[in-house]
Amino acid sequence: MLQINSEKKSSGFTLIELLVVIAIIAILIALLLPAVQQAREAARRSTCKNNMKQLGLALHNYHDVHSAFPAGRMRTTASDYLGHSTQTMLLPYIDQAPLYNQMNFTVGFNSAPNFALGQTILTAFLCPSNPTTEGVDYTGASAGPDAARTHYEGISDSGSGRRGTSSIVVSNGNGLFFWNSKVKLRDITDGASNTLAFCEVVSKGAGKNDAPAWIAYGDGIGTINGINAPWQTNGGILPLTHNMYNGDAFSGPASFHVGGCHFTLGDGSVRFLSENMSQTILTSLTTRAGGEIVGEF
């Protein structure tokens, strides 16, 4: 007589097997997540580098037309601190000619028509690794729209870039961008490939006047404190690193990339310089006609 086995063999997972599978998945995620994050940061860093390369190209296209680089800030008198910025002058050379053509250069950047244009967010001026994209508030305590940020600024000199109460930063810097500068390529006797033009900048976050806007305050950055360094004011070192403005002070080159930040050089090339770079070399790279001998960097 044929005997039928009524017991059915289970085809499911045991609890132990399920836990093993979950553990393996967790390990794989732990191994792969940093790689994914690194790949994303590499892509963001590449975009940032390309943005700064485009600034370098724009700079030289401007020079071809005007026989000089744009000023760090256009000003007419010592009390006129609302002059137009380097970034504004480069707009036609980064495919923003329609925006540039609407600017009124007979009045300051904060005039109503100009300031409205300055609220335009331009990705060409933004590093994708920098999380701070809120507008810059130049309206004081009163409510009002914010100016669009820039994460890239011109370099004015090897000093502090400290500004006074009249917002004058550097009237005669030894770099490429300062008050009514208009530096020519022939003025860069240290060599355009050995002279810094633009750097990345960061801020302490959203707030009143705490970060650069592309339309405003374009006198330039000083490099005396190094790269990714805490900013020093007359009162000492601030507790916050990565702050752009604080009171009457500008900070130096800084970024949200690990280990340093990008710089556009006078020849239009882009280099990533380490935050551990010698201050002597950084100073030598800042000056346009200092006569320093710069080796490999």
- pLDDT tens for 191-209 read 999 999 999 988 654 443 4
Q: Is the pLDDT of residue 214 over 50?
A: yes
Q: Residue 271: inside a domain, yes or no?
A: yes
Dihedral (CA of 164, 280, 210, 173) sign: positive
Phi, psi of 242 (to 5 degrees): 55, 45
When pLDDT is cut at 50, 70 and 90, the band that residue 97 belongs to is very high
Q: Is the pLDDT of residue 262 over 90?
A: yes
- Residues sharing a CB contact under 8 Å with residue 61, sequence separation 6 or more, in sequence order: 93
Q: Residue 170: inside a domain, yes or no?
A: yes
The Cα–Cα gap between 151 and 264 comes to: 13
DSSP 116-129: HHTT---GGG--TT
pLDDT value at residue 244? 39
Q: Is the pLDDT of residue 158 over 50?
A: yes
End-to-end Cα spacing for the chain:
92
User: Are 223 and 283 in contact, with CB atoms under 8 Å apart?
Assistant: yes
Q: Residue 47: inside a domain, yes or no?
A: yes
Q: Is the pLDDT of residue 30 over 70?
A: yes
Q: Residue 131, Cβ neighbours under 10 Å: how many?
A: 10
pLDDT value at residue 235? 45
Q: Which percentage of the chain shows pLDDT scores above 70? A: 73
Q: Is the pLDDT of residue 289 over 70?
A: yes
For range 129-139, the mean pLDDT? 70
pLDDT value at residue 207? 42
User: Are 245 and 138 in contact, with CB atoms under 8 Å apart?
Assistant: no
By the 10 Å C-beta count (0-12 exposed, 13-18 middle, 19+ buried), 17 is classed as exposed
Q: Residue 192: inside a domain, yes or no?
A: yes
Q: Residue 130, Cβ neighbours under 10 Å: how many?
A: 21
When pLDDT is cut at 50, 70 and 90, the band that residue 5 belongs to is low
Q: Is the pLDDT of residue 269 over 90?
A: yes
Domain count, the chain: 1
- Residues sharing a CB contact under 8 Å with residue 296, sequence separation 6 or more, in sequence order: none
When pLDDT is cut at 50, 70 and 90, the band that residue 106 belongs to is confident
For range 267-276, the mean pLDDT? 96
Which residue would you say has higher pLDDT here, 161 or 177?
177
Which residue would you say has higher pLDDT here, 77 or 252?
252
- Which amino acid would we find at residue 233? T
For range 14-30, the mean pLDDT? 84
Q: Is the pLDDT of residue 169 over 50?
A: no
Q: Which domain holds residue 96?
A: 19-286
Q: Is the pLDDT of residue 165 over 70?
A: no
pLDDT value at residue 268? 96
**Among 89-93, 198-202, 260-264, whose mean pLDDT is lowest?**
198-202
The Cα–Cα gap between 121 and 264 comes to: 21
Q: Residue 247: inside a domain, yes or no?
A: yes
pLDDT value at residue 145? 63
Q: Residue 291: inside a domain, yes or no?
A: no
pLDDT value at residue 267? 96
Q: Residue 261: inside a domain, yes or no?
A: yes
Q: Is the pLDDT of residue 228 over 60?
A: yes
Q: Residue 292: inside a domain, yes or no?
A: no
Q: Is the pLDDT of residue 162 over 80?
A: no
When pLDDT is cut at 50, 70 and 90, the band that residue 129 belongs to is very high
Report strand pairing: 221-222 vs 236-237: unpaired
User: Are 292 and 282 in contact, with CB atoms under 8 Å apart?
Assistant: no
